[in-house]
Amino acid sequence: MSYALITGASKGIGKAIATELAGRKLNLLLVARTESLLSELATDLCKRFNIKVDYLAIDLSSVNAPSQIVAWIKDKGYVVNILVNNAGYGLSGTFEGYSANEHRDMMQVNMTVPVVLTSLMIPELKKQPKSYILNIASAAAYQAVPGLTVYAASKAFLLSFSRGLQYELRKTNISVTVVSPGGTDTDFANRAKVGTKAVKAGEKLNMTPESVAKLAVNAMFAGKTEIITGFINKLGALLVWLLPKKLTETTAASIYNQD
């Protein structure tokens, strides 16, 4: 009996991915910070879809979090053939507006955890007939975003890591997919403390977590290396590639009130 392991599974896109996979009758291992939300989701998915669900409440900004997750999986005797690195968050505002520790914690969750957890899980994933790694990046990965400077850079890292890893593993049983959502109706803006101007700019273009999750899971099972969700986000990535960097960065800065 195999399981899909999902980080950041208690809400937003992670919760939607868990629900999408549950609808396909896949057993789940849910990881996030808030135990009450994990417990509620696990109970709901078990009842609705008649699958096996377990969860681990853990702070992913902890340096030892990935090894603790893998130890938990081994102690429980779970077999994992899908790894979803979804957990991540942003910090909106000036770089100097946050402490070094706050930047470090975000980089730990957005970059270090996916890399270390993937490294620890690959030997197990290789034991299965077919395995998948799904990394959730961001449309912000395609350019520098003043006002979300470290967040955008961290997602650019995850995007590049995923592309390289997919090539390295192309002759194995493991498929790697990276999905870059644009604006999505999640708690991201609140946690990142995004300003009103940026929130309003994205409201009309926001996708639902459920639609993003469906696209992500379909891409993963189709063996696609990389997708950007939504036509406008795809167009935006193309324009960023075509237009002068100074212009795109100035435009992004104006949205996030970085004069």
What residues are labeled active site?
151, 155
Q: How many CB atoms lie within 10 A of CB 97?
A: 11
Rounded Cα distance, 165 and 171, in Å: 11
Query: What's the CATH code of the domain at 138?
Result: 3.40.50.720
The phi and psi torsions of 162 (rounded to 5 degrees) equal -65, -45
131, two tokens = 């395995």
Rounded Cα distance, 112 and 110, in Å: 6
What is the average pLDDT score of the chain? Answer: 88
DSSP string, 104-135: HHHHIIIIIHHHHHHHHHHHHHTTSSSEEEEE
pLDDT digits (tens, 9 = 90+) for 120-179: 999 999 999 999 999 999 999 998 899 999 999 999 999 999 999 999 999 999 999 999
Structural domains counted in the chain: 1
pLDDT value, residue 259: 46
pLDDT digits (tens, 9 = 90+) for 99-127: 999 999 999 999 999 999 999 999 999 99
Confidence of residue 198 (pLDDT cuts 50, 70, 90): very low
Domain that holds residue 85: 2-255
